[in-house]
Amino acid sequence: MKVDTDEGLRRLIEENGRFVKGLTKRRDLSVRRMALVEAQFSFAALLACADSRVASEYVFDADLGDLFITRIAGNYLSQDDLATLEYAVHELGTPLLMVLGHTSCGAVKATVQVVEQGVQLPGHLGIIADATMPAVQAAKMRTGDVLTTAI
């Protein structure tokens, strides 16, 4: 079912409220899956962190087809994620975009350690640090906890 931006945001807030209260709905996914064979009508597209503790479908008590999600550690916008979100908007007509940060994000925490302690990250983790560095540097210019503000 198509919804507009305001209705999409209202649903996300309401559904997250159910999750927070432990009142998530029970669903028969086989029925919903069959209804979505021909098309999807996601009411929100999310740029979310890959963190296993923050699975968007659970956090928003969402049904199959409700959310179009791209996940990357640190939830920064890569070219691939941008293309994914553009697909949701242009091809699926998704009316709402959300960037979903979360408390205790390890990817952002690693970048804070690079900035504040000169930590050298192994392998390709520097890609994440480079991408999230602007948020950490901006957070350092503000009052409050740098990690929380950067997230």
Give me the residues that bind Zn ion (CB under 5 A), please.
Answer: 49, 51, 105, 107
Cβ burial of 71 (10 Å; 0-12, 13-18, 19+) is: middle
CB of residue 18 to Zn ion, shortest distance in Å: 23
Tokens of 117: 């302690």
> Which C-beta is closer to Zn ion: that of 25 or that of 122?
122
Q: Closest separation between CB of residue 114 and Zn ion, Å? A: 15
Q: If DSSP codes are grouped into helix, strand and coil, which group holds residue 71?
A: strand
Q: Specify the residue, 62 or 105, whose C-beta has the smaller distance to Zn ion.
A: 105
User: Measured from the CB atom, is 105 or 147 closer to Zn ion?
Assistant: 105
CB half-sphere exposure, 115, CA atoms < 13 A: 23
Q: 30 or 52, CB closer to Zn ion?
A: 52
Q: Are strands 67-71 and 44-48 parallel, antiparallel or unpaired?
A: parallel
Structure tokens at 41: 């009508």
**What are the tokens at 30?**
């086989």
Smallest separation (angstroms) from Zn ion to the CB of 137: 18
In the bound complex, what is the minimum distance in angstroms from residue 80's beta carbon to Zn ion?
Answer: 17
Round to whole Å and give the CA distance between 57 and 61.
6
